[in-house]
Structure 1
Amino acid sequence: MPNPKGNPQNLEPAPSDRDIKLTEQLNFRVTKEMKEEVKAKDDPPEFCRQAIQKALNEDKEK
């Protein structure tokens, strides 16, 4: 009989090679077309993080 509470290893965070841990979440609305384009990328979350960081860096330069 399977454990109804799941496998304890599934509760551990995935290993990461990042210097700074990703602990926060950000939610926002986009058009259907934007969502489809982002989802078509190889790594959609990393694509979004890089795009946001690029925009933040450009904003600092102003």
Structure 2
Amino acid sequence: MPNPKGNPENLKPIKSDREEPLTEYLHLRVTKEMKEELKAKDDPPEFCRQAIQEKLDRDK
């Protein structure tokens, strides 16, 4: 029978080796095709972060 209070391992904070911690959330809508292409990437969240950062750097 599963533990009704959940797995205590899930309560531990995620460790990161980044210079700046990822503390904020960003939600956006994409087309179905975009979502499917993103899901096919090895690391979709990191791919999105890099794409956003590249565009932000270009706009400076």
Assess same fold via TM > 0.5.
Answer: yes
- What residue is the counterpart of 1:48 in the other structure? 48
Name the structure 2 match of 1:19. Answer: 19
Identity of aligned residues (%): 75
**What amino acid is the match of 1:13?**
P
C-alpha distance in 2 between matches for 1:8 and 1:38: 31
Consecutive aligned runs of 4 or more in structure 1 exceeding 4 Å deviation: none
Q: Structure 2 length as normaliser, TM-score? A: 0.89
Q: Any stretches of 5+ residues in structure 1 without a counterpart? A: none
CA deviation after TM superposition for structure 1 residue 2, in Å = 4.3
Of stretches 3-12 and 21-30 in structure 1, the one that deviates more from structure 2 is: 3-12
Aligned residue number for residue 34 of structure 1: 34
Q: What TM-score results when the alignment is normalised by the length of structure 1?
A: 0.86
Question: How far is the alpha carbon of 1:16 from its aligned partner?
Answer: 1.0
Query: How many residues are paired up?
Result: 60
**For residues 33 and 6 of structure 2, what CA distance do their matches in structure 1 show?**
36
Superposition CA RMSD, Å: 1.2
Q: Which amino acid aligns with 2:16?
A: S
Per-residue Cα deviation, 1:7-61 (whole angstroms, up to 9, x for no partner):
222111221111111111001111100110011000000000000000000000x
